[in-house]
Structure 1
Amino acid sequence: MTRTTRSVITTLVVLILVAALGFIYASPYIALNRVKRAADARDAQTVNEYVDFPALRASLKEQIAALLTRRVDIQKSGNPLAIIGAMIGAAVVGPLVDSYATPDGVAAILNGIPPRGTPGEHPPQAGDGSPASPSGVPASGATTAQEAPKQPPMTTAGYRSLNTFVVTYRHGAGDARYSAIFHRDGLVSWKLVAVDLNG
């Protein structure tokens, strides 16, 4: 084997290695793009490949319960009305989690429309025939999470650790933010596993 041949082989090996490492690094961005497109198209089969629904459901339950607890703040208030509010809030958690642990819910989360913990709330649905009115209440009377934002949210995305990738959404400088959390599922596969409603 000549020196030129060895040099060419070495160069090819290095290029292949760099390309492989680049693909591994880019894999969560690719997964995010694919799951977002599939969720927007309500392609349940593809969404199932990129979402760990049991983990997402557990995360939503925990986050929404914490959101309602903060709202009512029973620990600091002995107010009986606060306790009644907490009981009503607890009844809201199950249906709200059920509505967001779906392709419609994933689409809402990835488009800047997180759950807000409102009774009767559900994510906007594709082709449900219930466009939101100016008050945010569809013709059917059920409340959507909120009106679709007029402008896309500001997003930042990046690795939190080797196996965790986080996408953070914010609509404006003073607005609350929240995050969608992906975990590595193999070398180049990623799944949406949680939301963090605190950002």
Structure 2
Amino acid sequence: MTRTSKSVVVTLVVIVVVAALAYIYASPYIALDRVKRAADARDAQTVNQYVDFPALRDSLKQQITELLTRRVDIQKSGNPLAVIGAMIGAALVGPIIDSYATPDGVAAILNGIPPRGNPGERPPAPPAAGAPSEGTNQANQETPAPAPASGIATAQESPRQPPQTTAGYRSFDTFVVTYQHGAGDAHYSAIFRRSGLVSWKLVAVDLNG
């Protein structure tokens, strides 16, 4: 092999290695884009490829239960009816989890509309055929309503603008997408875990950010 041929081979190998490393690095961003598109389209078959629903259910159960526990802790020294309302909310954790551990729920989570632990809460319905499916339109479907005397909201909060989104690696096997609607506003995270060298799955949410 001539020196020129060796140089060409080495160059090709370097290009292939760099391209492979770049693809591995970009793989969670690609997975995020694909699962969001599939969830917005309610393509359950594709969503199933990118979501570990048993793990997501466990995470939702833990996070929503913690939300309600903190709510009780804050309110128990005040109006006794607030505690009763929170206890009722705790009894409804199962239905909230069932509604969010679905393609509709995944679409809501990835569009800035996380569960908030409110009784009877459900993710927004899919947009009508031909209508844009961005988080803004989903958020606009939320109907504001005054909180009852118990202090436990029973409806979604008022419409919001699309959230500010940041994404990045937390570790080699963990990729986190954080959503925040504005400076000082509460934020939450969607957590992806590596499932193979370039495959990723949504496995958890962190409602505390």
Q: TM-score, normalised on structure 1?
A: 0.88
Question: Which whole-Å CA distance do the structure 2 matches of 1:105 and 1:6 have between them?
Answer: 54
**Alpha-carbon contact 1:183-1:192 (below 8 Å) kept:** yes
Deviation digits for residues 42-92 of structure 1 (CA, Å, limit 9, x no counterpart): 000000000000000000000000001111117974985455334212212
**Alpha-carbon contact 2:144-2:157 (below 8 Å) kept:** no
Residue 36 (structure 2) pairs with residue 36 (structure 1): yes
Structure 2 residue runs of 5 or longer lacking an equivalent are: 129-139, 147-153
**Alpha-carbon contact 2:192-2:203 (below 8 Å) kept:** yes
Deviation digits for residues 78-129 of structure 1 (CA, Å, limit 9, x no counterpart): 985455334212212100000000000000000000011111110001158x
**Paired residue type of 1:8:** V
Aligned to 2:208: 198
Question: Which whole-Å CA distance do the structure 2 matches of 1:40 and 1:133 have between them?
Answer: 17
Question: Which whole-Å CA distance do the structure 2 matches of 1:181 and 1:136 have between them?
Answer: 30
Query: Bigger shift: 86-95 or 44-53?
Result: 86-95
Deviation digits for residues 11-69 of structure 1 (CA, Å, limit 9, x no counterpart): 00000000000000000000000000000000000000000000000000000000011
Query: Bigger shift: 175-184 or 71-80?
Result: 71-80
Q: How does 1:1-199 map to 2 (within 5 A)?
A: 1-73=1-73, 77=77, 81=81, 83-127=83-127, 132=141, 134-135=143-144, 145-146=156-157, 149=160, 151-199=161-209
Structure 1 residue runs of 5 or longer lacking an equivalent are: 138-142
Cα distance change of structure 1 residues 144 and 82 upon mapping to structure 2, 3 Å threshold: closer
Aligned to 1:140: none
Corresponding residue SS for 1:73:
helix
Aligned residue pairs, count: 192
Corresponding residue SS for 1:179:
strand
Deviation digits for residues 130-164 of structure 1 (CA, Å, limit 9, x no counterpart): x8475369xxxxx6644553x32100000000000
Question: Which whole-Å CA distance do the structure 2 matches of 1:19 and 1:183 have between them?
Answer: 22
Question: Which whole-Å CA distance do the structure 1 matches of 2:94 and 2:185 have between them?
Answer: 26
Q: TM-score, normalised on structure 2?
A: 0.84
